[in-house]
Amino acid sequence: MRVAIVLFEGFTVLDAVGPYQVFSGVPGVEVVLVGASAGPVLDHVGSARMVAEASFEQVGRADVVVVPGGPGQVHHMDGGPVREWVRAVDATSTWTTSVCTGSLILAAAGLLRGRAATTHWLAVDQLGAWGASVSPERVVFDGKYVSAAGVSAGIDMALALAGRLWGPVMAQTVQLAIEYDPRPPFGAGSPHSAPAEVVEFLRERSDRVLRPR
Amino acid sequence: MRVAIVLFEGFTVLDAVGPYQVFSGVPGVEVVLVGASAGPVLDHVGSARMVAEASFEQVGRADVVVVPGGPGQVHHMDGGPVREWVRAVDATSTWTTSVCTGSLILAAAGLLRGRAATTHWLAVDQLGAWGASVSPERVVFDGKYVSAAGVSAGIDMALALAGRLWGPVMAQTVQLAIEYDPRPPFGAGSPHSAPAEVVEFLRERSDRVLRPR
């Protein structure tokens, strides 16, 4: 069982690491971080690099594909190696998943046409414009496609998928191992619960949230 | 304002990345990933590497220090560069923090003697043995020391500290930017809520959870 997590310049680290920490905790699962070429990949903040351990060429198939988001996704919408690899590996994947604006890459690759999907709350309109049927849930399953809302939602997505793949006891074991018993000190995690001034502030700056520096 | 996040071989990636994603979202904050030497650092699973962008020598001070955990921490309890750097930088830090078994490193460095602190639920006894006063909360503040429970608790810790450092509106802005509105598909995130069989399974294998492969 192989899980491939895509890295590209300008990705958001937590988008990739949430699912990584869940899937890599399941015995017997091989998780591979994959990029256009092997080597360090800079995140959207510009302060962290994760290493792509394999190149797209080296990973021709995966049971589960995870496409993270991040402002860097804008460079992969109109073609190029990330979009093409995702489309190619999707042909034989069992599950193709996304976190945050990673679903925009799936949509741009033509994989979400007419399918229910979600994304970062600031990118909902874009996802709809690419032909997906936006469902503003935290995790959305449609056939073999699973999409998560923004950034931290990848943890919930991966646990939900782990429950389907290996059963609830295994998913709960991983959840307890990473002590995922969230206690956010504030209730501002969604545009429905956050103070209006906070929502407005981010909407005004959505270019900075969704696009690279 | 500089936040330094320590990387060491055998760290748990999400321990470091939760706080990274929170602090790096605050405008004007410099986040530096730091290790014994600059370069890629392998995680405890053995499948991911993050890059230490600076060496301990290059980072003589930090306003906020974050020490992640992971099975690799056992190599840093009895001395060596990680423990010594943490102790040295703590002398001038404003806040010294830990995630998961990172608190064992703080305790081994003599920084938590008699102080309230927490850690991964499987390491509570060890933390007490190192002289800390264990408080089984998700996030524990005691003076300038802040510790988080296992792995995913680093997100809650960093948001709580962000609220103290920059006020609740900034913390809520970061929370909404990373859409941290957790919806765990299972309720097994703590030993109090997980099924007994899951708790027992992990207790029996705690050597694998807490110690390097």
Interface contact A182-B178, CB threshold 8 A: no
Query: CB B138 to CB A183 under 8 A?
Result: yes
B212 has a pLDDT exceeding 60? no
Structural contact between residues B209 and B71, judged by C-beta atoms closer than 8 angstroms: yes
pLDDT in tens, A159-194: 999 999 999 999 999 999 999 999 999 999 999 999
Give the model's confidence band at B210: pLDDT under 50 very low, under 70 low, under 90 confident, else very high. low
> Quick check: A177 and B202 CB within 8 A?
yes
Res B209: pLDDT = 60
Q: Quick one: average pLDDT of B137-157?
A: 98
**B91-126 residues labelled b (16+ CB within 10 A) or e (exposed):** eebebbbbbbbbbbbbbbbebbeebbbbbbbbbbeb
**Which of chain B's residues have a Cβ under 8 Å away from the Cβ of A176?**
188-191, 194, 198-199, 202
Q: Which residues in chain A are contacts of B138 at CB distance < 8 A?
A: 181, 183
Taking CB atoms and an 8 Å limit, are B178 and A24 in contact across chains?
Answer: no
Nearest-CB residue to A47 (from B24, B172, B186): B24
What percentage of chain B carries pLDDT values higher than 90? 91
pLDDT surpasses 90 at B75:
no
- Nearest CB to B49: which of A50, A149, A153? A50
For residue range A141-167, what is the model confidence (pLDDT) as tens digits?
999 999 999 999 999 999 999 999 999
Top residue of B7, B17, B122, B166 to mutate, by most chain A CBs within 10 Å, is B17
Contact A198 B173 (CB under 8 A): yes
Residue B27 has phi, psi (to 5 degrees) of -55, 135
Active site members of B:
100
**Alpha-carbon span B204 to A176, nearest angstrom:** 14
Asked whether A209 and B21 are in contact (CB, 8 A), the reply is no
Q: What does the pLDDT average to over B103-118?
A: 97
Nearest to B126 by CA among B198, B45, B210: B210
Angstrom CA distances, A210 to A58, A73, A123, A198, B178, stand at: 30, 8, 8, 16, 11
Smallest CA–CA distance, residue A209 to chain B, in Å, is 7
Query: Would you say the ipTM is above 0.85?
Result: yes
A213 band by pLDDT with thresholds 50, 70 and 90: very low
Q: What would the pLDDT profile of A94-112 be if each residue is shown by its tens digit? A: 999 999 999 999 999 999 9
Given this model, what pLDDT does residue B72 score? Answer: 87
Of B48, B49, B176, the CB nearest to A199: B176
| Distance between CA atoms of residues A48 and A44, nearest Å | 8
- Residues of B with CB below 8 A from A50's CB? 48-51
If you average pLDDT over residues A50-55, what whole number do you get? 98
Q: Do B180 and A151 touch (CB under 8 A)?
A: yes
* Averaged pLDDT, A110-137: 96
Region B1-30: mean pLDDT is 97
In angstroms, the CA A207 to CA B15 distance is 29
Cβ–Cβ of B189/A181 closer than 8 Å? yes
Average pLDDT, rounded, for chain B: 95
Report which DSSP code applies to A182: -
From chain A, the residues in CB contact with B17 under 8 A are: 13-14, 17, 48
**Inter-residue contact B135 to B118 (CB < 8 Å):** yes
Answer whether residue B213 shows pLDDT above 80.
no
Measure A87 CA to nearest chain B CA, in Å.
24
Has residue A1 got a pLDDT over 50? yes
Q: Which residues of A touch B30 (CB under 8 A)?
A: 47
For chain A, the structural domain boundaries read: 2-184
- Taking only the tens place, the pLDDT of each residue in A65-93 is 999 999 888 888 888 999 999 999 999 99
Could B182 and A184 be called an inter-chain contact, meaning their C-beta atoms sit closer than 8 Å? yes
Residues in B closer than 8 angstroms to A193, CB to CB, are 181
Using CB atoms, which residue from B49, B171, B198 is nearest to A176?
A: B198
For B167, other C-beta atoms within 10 Å of its C-beta total: 11
Q: Determine whether the interchain pair A189/B195 forms a contact, defined as Cβ–Cβ distance below 8 Å.
A: no
- A208: which 2 tokens? 């900075």
- The mean pLDDT value of chain A amounts to 95
3.40.50.300, 2.40.110.20, 2.30.30.40, 3.40.50.880: which CATH number matches A2-184? Answer: 3.40.50.880
Of A17, A193, A195, the CB nearest to B181: A193
The mean per-residue pLDDT over the stretch B50-62 comes to 98
